[in-house]
Structure formats: structure tokens, C-alpha cells
Structure 1
Amino acid sequence: MLAAFDNKKLYSNRSRLFGVLLLCVLISMSMIGWAMNVDPAEQNLSAVLMPPGAEYWLGSDHYGRNMFARLSEALRLSLSLAIICVLSASTIGCILGVIAGWYGRWLDNGLNIIVNILLAMPGLVFVLLFAALVPGSFTAIYIAIALVQWVEYFRVSRSLTQSLANSPEIQNALLLGFGRVYIFRHHLWPTLRSPVLTMAAFGAANAVLYMASLGFVYVGIQPPTSELGQMIVELFPYYGDAPWLLLQPLTMLALIVLAFHLIAGDKR
């Protein structure tokens, strides 16, 4: 039984390492495209649907635009959104969750009402409605996704804080005169860290999928800016003539989600 546990832990560590390496590869690809200083929106109608080659590493699309430059820009956009959404949602959710779990009463009740209202509507529908108000706005997409994702951090941190608030360790720390910041750093955060980081990895993957979903229905990032969901829709009519073009944004989207899910690890 102990050997099985060790094998599972080793497999989980290897999966996380592979996820980190895969994410580093994707980040490197996005930075290489930025360093090339090639305009991803520049059209060359004499080089339409070119296959991968020396001039166009990943080929060119139906407007003759460099696919490597476009995928690099789309990767930078998706990864940037994932990072800022996770940072904002986790920070707000954890702070409010700890405060609600610690103080309770009217503050806890008020925040729970807000959370229940947000949970009454499916996350993707909320993001679609919010983004449709300002089509093409990166800020609107970011705010909508962050508003959806902070709820999970709030619920987990609130629940764990409530269960730990009356523990002997925290009560002793209070009696000894330690402040709440010290108690959070040395007692609450070590317990919160693992579930919060796991949710952050899954949340980053979901943020990327949310953005791609908006591109499918034309309320996400608008042309000529590159975005994976938008690129999939644009290139779909050409899958018969140039199947490698459609495969590229699909593969990048799958790899980003896979990388974050591997980093999250298996908690069973």
C-alpha cells in the first residue's frame, strides 16, 4: 500500500514537471514570435495558404499572414489573460473568504448572498453576456472571468477558515498576542495553499477556454488581433485545402489546457 502511494506521488510529480515544461515551451514560442518583430496582421495576398517552409515556419493563412507570428500573439494574449484572471480572482476570493470565515455574522451573510446570485447563472453564460456588452474588449473579458472565478476561492477559503478559527493552535496564538497577519501566514495559509494553487491552475485553463469560446461566437477579441478561438473559426472553411492551418490553433489551445491541468495534479 505504501509502495502504491509512493508510485502515485511520483507519477503526480512527473505530471506536474511535464506540465511546467510544456508551459515553458508555449511561453518560449510566444516570446520568439514577439522577438521576430513580424506584424501578425500584415497581409501578403501573393502567399495565401502557404505550407510550412523557410519563410513561413508554420505557413500562412487565407490572407497571407504569418501563422507563427499570429499563434505567438494569440498565445501571449491567452496566457496574459489566464495569469491576471487567476491573480485577481484568487486574491479577492481568498481575502474575502478569510474575512467572512473569521468574523462571520452580517459580513458572512452579505457575501454569501452575492455568491449565491453569481452561482445562479452558469459561468460561461455570464461571461458571454458581459462580453457581448463590449465586444472585443480585453478588459471586459477579464472582468467577467474574474467575477466568475473568485467565487470558488471564496467558498474554499471561507470553509477552511471557519474550520480552523477555533483550533487550539490559533486560539493559543491569539492568547499569546500574535496578530491576525501572523496567524494567517503561519496557520491559515499553509492549509489554504494547496487547494488554492490547484484551483489557480484549473482556473487558468478555464480562463483560456472562456476566451476561446467568446471567439467562437464573435464577441471576443476582434480582428486583426490574433486569438485562438477566433482563428479556429476563421480557418475552419479552409480545412480541406490547408488542414495544417486549422490544426495549429486547435493544438495550441489543447496544449495550454493540458499544461495547466497537469500542473494542477491529481488530488484523488
Structure 2
Amino acid sequence: MITPVQRAAAALLVLLALFATVGPLAWPDHAAQDLSRFLEPPSLAEPLGRDHLGRSVVARLAHATQLSLLMAVLCVATALLVGSLGGIIAAWRGGWVDTVLHGLSEAFIALPALLVVLIFSAVANGDLWTLYVGLALAQWVEYFRMVRSRSGLVLAGPAVEAAGMLRLGPSHVIRRHLWPELRPLLTTMATFGVGSSILALSTLGFVGIGVRPPTPELGLMVTEAFPYYHEAPWMSLAPVLVLTILLIGLLSLRNKEAGL
């Protein structure tokens, strides 16, 4: 049953998604500087004012929200696809295929996920493509291990054995037996993964090793606004509020999928 809190969280996520979609169209130039408008307070034309370089804060926030959501969804989709396919293949084929894939996953587990992201971030020097690869690599193992374990149980069951005797083929097994079993788990993990990716990307930007200026990013916006907090608190509060809404909303949706 959907609670009022979950409805509110879903509504806020929809509003943020609309802001990330429409905002960059309404405020397209996030890098335009006008030093004569240094720390200009909010107004009707500029709902969040201007930053220390005279740039539109709402424009930068819209582009940063869009970047965070797109990167997070792309990273999770890649990790889910690679991990799920690898897990199904390992459980289905067994033997040396399972040994090789399992050994590869163990090698990644030996490295903390944050370390993997940090290594790729250091190499990336602000390049979005390399950051995307690092975040995806840090997450695929979770999907692989879960899918491999659950698929092994399903494939060893009598229903799949009967499907094999009837020569129904792999597509039937995946569609009728594996997917119904894996879908709730993958949905919950993906929802949590999106939140983790957004938080990781913001953390990297906050400490200065993620996306490089002038590209707007939520964590980077917080760092840039800190020296001017007393003069213009809205500059740092706006990205923090967006991050809070995103993470709480995704957490509420995850609890719904998990039946909590």
C-alpha cells in the first residue's frame, strides 16, 4: 500500500525530473558571467539570484540536476545490464565460465567501490565519460552476485527442468521463470543505485575531483558557494535541497518496492 509520504516523495521526484528537463531549456546559458551582478539576490527574473561570478544560480542548478540524474540512470542501467547478463550466464553455463566470472567479481569486491571511483576520477580529470565508466564498474558486481545466486536456484528448480524437457528454449525460461523472480530485486537495487550514484558524483564534485568547472554539478555548486554562505545562503542551500529531495524520494520508492 502506498503511503502519503511515498506519494509526496514521488511527486517531488516528478517535479525535479521536470525541472531537470525544462529548466535547461528555460535557462540555457549556465556559464554566462556578469561580474556587475555579483551575488545578486533572488528576484522574479532570477529566482535563485546570481553567484560570485554573476552566473544564474537557477540555470546552473537546472543543468546540474539534469547531469546528476542522467549520469546516475546511465550508470545504473549499464551496471544492471552487465551484472544481470553476467549473473545469468554464470548460473546457466556453470563450469569454467562461472569460475572466470565469479573470480572477476571477487577481484572487484576486494577493491572498495569508492576506491574504484576515485581511481577513475583521478584519471578522468573531469571527463564525464571516464566518470561514468568508474561509477558503473563500482556497481555491476552487486547485480552480478545477486542475479547469479537467485538464477542458480531458479534454474535448478523443477519448472525450468520441465521447460527443458518440452524444448521451450532459453527465451521462455527467462521470460516466464527468471524475470518474474528477478524483477522486484533488480528494481529495488536500481532505485538504491541511482541514489548512490548521485551521492557519489556529488561527493566527488564536493572534494574537487569530479566534474570540473564551468560544468555545473550539485556537489561542486555547494563547494563554490561555501565562501559566500553568509552573504548569499541560497547559493549553497539550493543544491543541498535538491540532493536531499532526490535521496529521500528514492529511498521512499525503494522501501515501496521492497515492501517495507
Q: TM-score range by the shorter chain?
A: over 0.9
- What one-letter code is carried by the residue in structure 1 that aligns with 2:126? G
Matching residue within 206, 217, 233 for 1:227? 217
Alignment partners' CA distance in 2, 1:25 and 1:214: 25
What's 2:185 paired with?
A: 195
Alignment partners' CA distance in 2, 1:133 and 1:10: 44
- What one-letter code is carried by the residue in structure 2 that aligns with 1:56? E
- What one-letter code is carried by the residue in structure 2 that aligns with 1:155? R
Contact 2:20–2:65, Cα closer than 8 Å, also in 1: yes
**1:39: Cα distance to partner?**
0.6
**1:77: Cα distance to partner?**
0.3
What's 1:252 paired with?
A: 242
Matched, 1:182 2:182: no
Q: 1:75-86 counterparts in 2 under 5 A?
A: 75-86=65-76
Alignment partners' CA distance in 2, 1:44 and 1:204: 35
**1:128: Cα distance to partner?**
0.8
Unaligned runs of 5+ in 2: none
- What one-letter code is carried by the residue in structure 1 that aligns with 2:241? T
Alignment partners' CA distance in 2, 1:18 and 1:84: 25
Alignment partners' CA distance in 1, 2:163 and 2:5: 38
More displaced 10-residue stretch of structure 1: 31-40 or 126-135: 31-40
What's 1:265 paired with?
A: 255
* Identity %, equivalent residues: 38
Structure 1 counterpart SS, 2:243: helix
**1:127: Cα distance to partner?**
0.2
Matching residue within 163, 178, 201 for 1:173? 163
What's 2:44 paired with?
A: 54
* TM-score normalised by the chain length of structure 1: 0.92
1:119-149 deviations in Å (ceiling 9; x for gaps): 1121112101111012111001100010111
Contact 1:18–1:262, Cα closer than 8 Å, also in 2: no
Structure 1 counterpart SS, 2:35: coil
Structure 1 counterpart SS, 2:37: coil
Alignment partners' CA distance in 1, 2:222 and 2:94: 47
Alpha-carbon RMSD: 1.4
Alignment partners' CA distance in 1, 2:211 and 2:58: 19
**1:60: Cα distance to partner?**
1.0
More displaced 10-residue stretch of structure 1: 68-77 or 16-25: 16-25
Q: 1:1-268 counterparts in 2 under 5 A?
A: 9-11=1-3, 14-265=4-255, 267=258, 268=260
1:193-247 deviations in Å (ceiling 9; x for gaps): 0000000000001111111111122221111110011111111111111112111
**1:20: Cα distance to partner?**
2.8
- What one-letter code is carried by the residue in structure 2 that aligns with 1:81? M
Alignment partners' CA distance in 1, 2:217 and 2:199: 11
For the structure 1 residues 244 and 160, does the alpha-carbon distance in structure 2 shift closer, same or farther, using more than 3 Å as the test?
A: same
